[in-house]
Amino acid sequence: MAKIRVIQYGVGPIGAGMVRLMLTKPGVHIVGAIDVDPNKVGKDLGLVAGAEREIGVKICSDADAVLRTGADVVVHTTSSYLKSVADQLTACLSAGLHVVSTCEELSYPFRKHPELSKKLDQIAREHKVALLGTGVNPGFVLDKLILTLAAACQNVTKATGHRIVNASTRRQPLQAKIGSGMTVEQFHEQVKAGIIKHHGLPESVGMVADGLGLDVARIEEVIEPVVAKERVKTDYFDVPAGKVVGVRQVAHGFSSKGVVNVDLKLEMYLGAPDSADTVSIKGTPDLTLAVPGGTHGDLATAAITVNCIPALFEMRPGLRTSKDTPMCYFPGALSR
């Protein structure tokens, strides 16, 4: 069986993780790479991605040229905002390529971007390819995991999820992204500017609500700082008591009668207690599933995205989500 030919679109930290993982899969052959960073263009993808070896693929800034090289799938990792990547996705789909993307707003875009969702779905259908937005959160922990657990329920009346991430051991950009070291006033200014925000929580609420048939007419999101009660020190930050060490973000899915039917919470901060993921369902029967230690964001995002590559060929053409996707581990060898 021929290998799946893949183009890596975006070679930041997440994209680099995808590349390193794909290089361990015998059924995957990376044939191209796209990035606009002048410090990466023209260099070997393997070296830039931290694989510690050349793989014979040069990073190119000309997306159209790379998309014409002859491939099957694009692994897309460039931005959280769907409007910002819509043209990139359109170009990939129009080239007749399946796409799996980590764009958070693409994970379940139907409520926030209904017209753009229809457009992308139509383009994918016209070219007989699948477009999937996924990842760890959104895409798995606070949505797909809940939907999977609900398969053991006779009925469901409410769904909740709580993800705690101890950011102390995570990479520097993530520690900075959650507001580490800021004053509370600075934190709120950054939230207002849209800079501090974990993207995808409302999308997860929408996916869970629609997947479980729960009435969610309105989604409200609250973002608050987590303030250090004592000094917290990491490899990158030294935060005194009273300063911000992270974020607490909650998305409530209200029914038409004002009842919260879906409630998802993400806490990501320095010095957090042990990371953990917990999802619960109120129904028949009530169910709770806990993942002690949590699901590692970067490792799991790469794993979920790469593991979904073979599934693209089995999907109906169009815009798909984790809700539609039969997720399973991809050992690396092709069986199709």
Residue-wise DSSP of 291-329:
EET---HHHHHHHHHHHTTGGGGTSPSEEE-GGG-----
Tokens standing for residue 307: 């593991």
Cα–Cα distances in Å, from 331 out to 24, 256, 309? 9, 44, 12
Q: What is the pLDDT of residue 185?
A: 97
CATH entry 3.30.360 includes domain 144-295 = yes
Q: Are 36 and 85 in contact (CB under 8 A)?
A: no
Tell the burial category of 298 from Cβ atoms under 10 Å away from its Cβ (0-12, 13-18, 19+): middle
Cα 225 to Cα 209: distance, rounded to the nearest angstrom: 27
Tokens standing for residue 135: 């990842």
Say what the alpha-carbon torsion angle 290, 245, 49, 17 is, to the nearest 10 degrees: 10
Q: What are the residue boundaries of the structural domains of the chain, listed by start? A: 4-135+299-324, 144-295
Cα 64 to Cα 56: distance, rounded to the nearest angstrom: 19
Cα 258 to Cα 89: distance, rounded to the nearest angstrom: 37
- Residue 267, SS3 per DSSP: strand
Nearest to 153 by CA among 279, 277, 287, 290: 287
Q: What is the pLDDT of residue 2?
A: 82
- The secondary structure element, H or E, covering residue 151 is none
Cα 142 to Cα 136: distance, rounded to the nearest angstrom: 8
Tell the burial category of 240 from Cβ atoms under 10 Å away from its Cβ (0-12, 13-18, 19+): exposed
pTM, 2 dp: 0.94
Q: Are 228 and 214 in contact (CB under 8 A)?
A: no
Beta-carbon contacts of residue 17 (< 8 Å; ≥ 6 apart):
49, 298, 299, 301, 302
Q: Are 161 and 144 in contact (CB under 8 A)?
A: no
Q: Are 97 and 71 in contact (CB under 8 A)?
A: yes
- Please name every residue paired with 132 in a beta bridge, in sequence order, or none if there are none: 100, 320
Q: Is the dihedral of CA 160, 309, 20, 106 positive or negative?
A: negative
Cα 46 to Cα 23: distance, rounded to the nearest angstrom: 9
Q: What is the pLDDT of residue 72?
A: 98
From first to last of its 336 residues, the chain has per-residue pLDDT tens of 589 999 999 999 999 999 999 999 999 999 999 999 999 999 999 999 999 999 999 999 999 999 999 999 999 999 999 999 999 999 999 999 999 999 999 999 999 999 999 999 999 999 999 999 999 999 999 999 999 999 999 999 999 999 999 999 888 988 999 999 999 999 999 999 999 998 999 999 999 999 999 999 999 999 999 999 999 999 999 999 999 999 999 999 999 999 999 999 999 999 998 899 999 999 999 999 999 999 998 899 999 999 999 999 999 999 999 999 999 999 988 764
In terms of CATH, what superfamily is 4-135+299-324?
A: NAD(P)-binding Rossmann-like Domain (3.40.50.720)
Nearest to 171 by CA among 297, 316, 35: 297
Cα 128 to Cα 72: distance, rounded to the nearest angstrom: 12
